[in-house]
Structure 1
Amino acid sequence: MRTLASRVSTLSPSTTLAITAKAKEMKESGIDIIGLGAGEPDYNTPDNILQAAYQSMLEGKTKYTPSGGLPALKDAVIEKFKKDQNLTYGRKEIMIGIGAKHVLFTLFQVILDPGDEVIIPTPYWVSYPEQVKLAGGVPVHIEATATSQFKVTAEQIANAVTSKTKAVIINSPGNPTGMIYSKEELQTIADVCLDKDIWIISDEIYEKLIYAGQKHVSIAQLSDDAKQRTLVINGVSKSHSMTGWRIGYIAGDQEVVNAMTDLASHSTSNPTTTSQYAAIEAYNGTQDTVEVMRSDFETRLDRIYPQLSKIPGFNVIKPQGAFYLLPDVSEAMAKTGFDNVDDFAEALLLKANVAVIPGSGFGSDNTIRLSYATSIDLLEEAVRRIHAFVKENWING
C-alpha cells in the first residue's frame, strides 16, 4: 500500500528553512556560524504592538474570531490601502490569513483546477511553484536575467500565455532579487493580463522596504480594470518585524475572497486571535519603527554591497528593496572547483562558517542569496570569510 498521497510526491522542501535549520544546529553545537539565510528582520516586534497583544489577552480576547479575520483588522487593512495606494476595498474584499504564505496557498486552492497554469518569473520565491503544484496547477517559468535587472517583460508574459493560463505572479519588491517594477513596467504587464483575461497575483510583502528614493507602486493602482484583475497579497511580517505572528491578507475579487474564507473555515478556523489584535496596532499605531528599520537596512546595503562586489567571481546587482543580495557566483564556482551552487553553498557553510541560500531553490542555478537582515559587524565578517574562502580555493590558469 502506498503511504503518501501523490500530491506530495514531487514536493521540494523549503531551501531557506532547511539551510537555516542546519546553520542553527551547527551554531548550537558551538561552531561560530554567521547566518545570512533567514528571510526575516533581526528587529524585535515594536513595543506598542507587543503591549496591544498583551492587553487583548488581559481583556479576554482569546476566543474564536470570524474565519476571514476580525472586522477591526479588515478595517485597518482597508485604511492602509487608502493611505498608501489610494485604493478602496470593502470588508468582503479582504481576507486575513495565517501569514502571507498561507494566504497564497489558500488562493491557489480556490482558483486552480488540475492542469491550470500559473506564470512564475524566475528567480522566484521558493514556495510559489510548490504551492501551485499542490493545488494541481502547473508552474510555467519565464526567466528574468541580470541584464533585465531580474524583471520580466510584458512580451515574455504574453508569449507564455496559453489557453490553460490562469494567473501570473508579480513580486515587487522581489524575493530573492530585491528588484522593483516601475509604474511603466507594471502598466505594460497589466495591459497583457487584461487582454488575456488572467489573474494578476501581486505579492507586495516587502513594500515598506525600499531604498534610494524608489517608490512602491501596486499594479492594482493603475486603473479600475487592473484592480479588478489583481489579487494583492501582503502582511505585517516584514514591514513590522512580525514574522512569527503569522498574519497576512489578500485584497481583491469578492468571489475569490469569499471562497478562500469558506476554505479557511474548514482548515484553520481563524487566524490566531492575539496576533490579529497585534496586527491592528501595527497598522493603526505609530509607524516610526517601520522607517527606522527601513533606514537601517538601507545603511547596511550601502555598506555591504561594495564589499561583496569585490569578491573575485561575484557579479552583483544592487537591489532596490527587501533585504537580500543575489550575486551571480558562476565564475567563483568554476574557479574554486565547484560544479553546482548547492555544493558551493554547502562549502561556505562548512568551511567558511557562513550560511547562505543556494539559488537553485529560487530557480536560479548560478546565484546565492544573502540576507543583510543582521548587524553590520556580522555582515562585514561574513563577507570577509567568503572572500577569504574564494581567494584560498581559487584555481589559477
Structure 2
Amino acid sequence: MSLTEATDRHARIRDESSWQHRADGTFHKTMPTHRAEGEYRGWRALRGLAPVPHLLDRRHDGPRTTLIYQDVFAGGRCTHLLADLITEADAEPAHVPAVRALINAVCDSWQHSHDRTGRLTPLHATVPALYAARLRPGGRLDRWYGGARPCTVHTPTGSYRIDLPALLTRLRTQLPPGSRWPSMISQGDPTEPNIAGPSLCWLDLEHAGRTTIAGEAANLLAYLLILGGWLIPAYQPGTYARTVRRRAPADRPHLRHLHITGGHITVDAALRAGPGRRAALDALLERLHGDVGRLLTARGYDAGTMSAPMPIPGLAPGPATALAPWLALRILGVIPLAKLSPSDRAICLAQLGRILDPSLDLTDLATTLPWRPDHAAADPSSH
C-alpha cells in the first residue's frame, strides 16, 4: 500500500460512523462532530413533523460525538426495515400488503411535510450532500466521469448517445445553485435501510432538513429500481451487513445479450423484482402519478416561473420530467460506473439513456422488471 493510499484509508476511517444497539434499549451512533451536529439539526427539524426516534443525549469526545437514541426495535415501536420487509415479501407474498402500506406511509409523510413546510427554495439553500456537492465542479462526479469517453448504447427499445462529461455540464445547467425547486423538511436520504415500520419511523437523519421533493422521490425510486435489490448488495455489501436484518443476495438483472465494441454497446437485459419489490415500486409509482407527482410541479412550475430550465426542453412538465436530472444523479453518484462489471455498467448506461429520453413515462422504467426467473441467465461478459 502506498503512502497516499494509506493516508486516504486512515482519513476514511476517521470520518466513518459506528453504531451499536445497547442492551439498555438505546442506540448509539458515533461520528465526527461536524456530521453529528448536522444530524442533530436534522433531528430537530423533523421532530414533531415526521416520525423519528427519540433522541436521549449527545456526548462529545474530542473530534467525535455520540448521539444516543431510544432503540425503536428494542422497545417494539418498529419490527423491521423496508429492506427486510421487501425481502420477506419476495419470499412470502402474504407480506405484500405491508410493503404497500409502508410505501404509502412514506408518501403520506412527504405530503404532510409539504403541507406544513413546502415552498420554492433555491437549490443552494437545501441540504447539499447527495446532489449539489457531488455535482459541483471538481466534486465527486467530475473525478469519476470528467475524462470518460462518449459511447452509444443500443437496446431493444432505442439507442442512446451517452457523453458523461457533456451530461455533467447539462445537469449543472438544469440544477444551478440559484434554481428554485419545490422543497420541504424531510429525512433527506429515503432508502430501504432508512425506513422502519410497520408504523413509519425515519432513521439516519444526517441529511435531514430542507430538501427538494424531486430529490427525495428520485432517491427512493432509484433505490427500489436498481440500488437496493442489485447494486448496493453486489458492490457495497457492508451497507446492508451493518443495517438490515434479513439479507438477500444481489438480484442481478436478467441479461439476454451483451456486445461491446469500441464506443458501441449493445445490451438486452431486464431488471428483476420479486413480489415485494414489485409491490413497493407499484405503490410509489401510483403516488408519483398522483398527489406526490403534483408536489414535484407545485406552485408555479407548470407556468414556467421557476428559474431552473425545464429538465428536458420541449416536454410538458410531469413527474418523469421533474425527476430526470435527479434520477441521473442517483445512477452516477452512488457507485462509480467504472467499478462495475462490463454487463452491469452497460445496463446502468442503458437505464441512464432511458431516464434522459424525453418520451419516458416513469412506469416504463418498471415495466421491464419481470417476476424473478427461477434461474438467472449466464452473464455473457464473463465468457
TM-score normalized with structure 1 length: 0.26
Flag the structure with more relative contact order, 1 or 2, with Cα contacts below 8 A and sequence separation at least 6.
1
TM-score normalized with structure 2 length: 0.27
